[in-house]
């Protein structure tokens, strides 16, 4: 493997490219809308089709990368958390979006629990179907992991809301987070 190909795989792994591509194609206007949001100029190639600079940044053999800032902007436009989920999964974690608790009531919390139960059911069905023949195939493993991830995320989102709304805030000495010297709190008073 050449140095440039190795560099590209390190700087822009396939999971990132696939996530960005899926997010862009999920936009109502696809690549054209993404170009408008990012502010890149479009050009027309020899075949007469629209080709944006962002398409070049997502090519497998390209020499450019798609900046994370652009991906985060498109994620915001899309109203999803697909980039955050992909990064969390690749890092061995789970991304839990925090809802604005001012807009949450008991019915919303219960709805999140029902969504978590539904996702656990999907996970269970995936596992059951995959082990039916006694072997979990690679594509079945991917599907199981996808449903497991979503089930964990939904349960964590529910738990987060329960704790944020119904638990008293933990009281502690915040001085450890403050800057040293004159800016640090000199006394701790519990209310």
pLDDT of residue 104: 82
For 26, phi then psi, to 5°, come to -80, -15
DSSP alpha helix (H) spans, the chain: 3-11, 14-26, 30-38, 53-56, 68-78, 82-90, 106-131, 138-166
**What's the CA gap between 62 and 47, in Å, rounded?**
19
pLDDT of residue 144: 96
Domain ranges for the chain: 3-90, 101-166
Which H or E run contains 42? strand 42-44
User: For the chain, which residues score pLDDT lower than 70?
Assistant: 1-9, 40-52, 171-191
pLDDT of residue 54: 77
Segment 67-102, tens digit of pLDDT? 999 999 999 999 889 999 999 999 989 898 887 777
Give the global pTM. 0.65
**What's the CA gap between 128 and 88, in Å, rounded?**
26
């Amino acid at each position: 493997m050449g140095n440039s190909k190795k560099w590209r795989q390190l700087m822009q792994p396939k999971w990132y490219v696939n996530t960005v591509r899926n997010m862009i194609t999920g936009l109502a206007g696809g690549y054209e809308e993404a170009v408008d949001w990012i502010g890149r100029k479009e050009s027309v190639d020899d075949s007469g089709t629209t080709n944006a600079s962002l398409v070049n940044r997502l090519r497998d053999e390209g020499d450019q990368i798609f900046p994370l800032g652009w991906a985060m902007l498109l994620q915001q436009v899309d109203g999803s958390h697909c980039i955050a989920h992909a990064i969390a999964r690749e890092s061995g974690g789970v991304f839990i979006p925090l809802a604005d608790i001012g807009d949450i009531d008991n019915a919303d919390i219960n709805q999140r629990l029902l969504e978590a139960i539904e996702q656990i059911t999907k996970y269970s069905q995936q596992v059951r179907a995959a082990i039916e023949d006694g072997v979990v195939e690679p594509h079945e493993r991917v599907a199981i992991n996808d449903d497991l991830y979503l089930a964990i995320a939904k349960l964590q989102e529910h738990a987060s809301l329960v704790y944020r709304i119904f638990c008293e805030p933990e009281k502690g000495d915040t001085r450890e987070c403050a800057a040293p010297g004159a800016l640090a709190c000199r006394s701790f008073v519990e209310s």
